[in-house]
Structure 1
Amino acid sequence: MLQQTLPRHASRNRRTLLWLLGLLLLLVGAVVTLVLYLNNFEAEEETRRRAADAQWLEQSVQFHFRRLEDDLLVLARQSVLGDASARSKKAKSVEVQGGLLWREPGVVLSHGWLAAGLSPDARVGPQRWQLDWAAHPANAQALATMQDTTRGLRRSAYAGLMQQADGSLTDVVWLAVPFFDRGQFVGNYLAAVSLERAVRSLVPAWFAQNHSVRLVADDIDAAPAQASAAHSYRASMNLPGPDLFLEVAPIGEQPTTVPRIFFLVALLFLLGMLISLVALRRDFVKRQQVQARLQAEVALRTAMENSVTIGLRAWDQHGKILYVNQAFCNMVGYPATALLGKSAPMPYWPADQANELQLVHRDIIVQGTQGDGVELQFQHRSGKLLDVLIHEAPLTTVNGEQLGWMSSVLDISERKRAQRMATLQQEKLEASGRLVAVGEVASTLAHELNQPLGALSSFANGLLNRLRGGNIRLDELEPVVARMARLAERAGGVIQRVNAFARRRELSRQHLDVVAVLRRVLASTADAQTRQVSLVDNNQAIWIDADELLLEHLINNLVDNALHWAHRGPGLAQVRVEMACDRSQGLATLVVADSGPGVTEENGVNIFNAFFSTKEGGMGMGLAICRSIVEAHHGRIEVGRDPELGGARFVVWLPLAEVPLIAPILPTLLVAQGVP
Structure 2
Amino acid sequence: MSFLSRPLDSLSPEPLRRRLALWWRRQSPARQDRLATLGPLVSVLLFLAAIISAFWYLRNEEIDREMESVKRDTEIAQLALRSRLIDNQEQLVRLAREVVTRQVDSQEFVSQAQALAAERPEISEISWVTGQMACRARVSNVGQNATNACQITAETGSLPRAGRSGPPEQAFNAARQRRQPVYSPPLINSQGAPVFQIQVPLMDRNGFAGVLVGEYTIEALLRYHVPSEVATRHVISVMDGDEHSLSSTVTQMPGQVARRAAIVHYVPLAPALNGLVLRGQGWRAGLTFVDNILFWMVVALAGLTVWMLLGTWRHMRRRTQIQNALTLETNFRRAMENSMLTGMRAMDMETRITYVNPAFCAMTGFSESDLIGRTPPYPFWPNDRREENARLLQQELQGRSPSGGVEVRIARKDGSTFDARVYVSPLVDHRGKQTGWMTSMTNITEAKRVRDQLSASHERFTTVLEGLDAAVSVLGVQPPELLFANRSYRMWFGADPAGHAVLAGGQLGGSTPPRGLDEDLDAVDDYSGLPAEALTETGSDPREVYVESLDMWFDVRSRYLAWTDGRLAQMLIATDITTRRRAEALAAQQAEKAQVTSRLMTMGEMASSVAHELNQPLTAIANYCNGMLSRVRGDNIDKESLMAALEKTAKQADRAGQIIHRIRAFVKRSEPQRQPANAAAIVEDAVELAGIELRRRNVAIHTYVAQRLPQMQVDPILIEQVIMNLLKNAAEAIDNAALPASRRHIELRVVPKHSAELGGQIEFSVTDMGPGLPDEVIARMYEAFFSTKADGLGIGLGLCRSIVESHQGRIKAENLYNGPLVVGCRFAFTIPVEIPRQELAAGARTESNSTL
Q: Which category describes the TM-score, using the shorter chain as reference length?
A: 0.3 to 0.5
TM-score, scaled to structure 2: 0.28
Q: Which has the larger radius of gyration?
A: 2
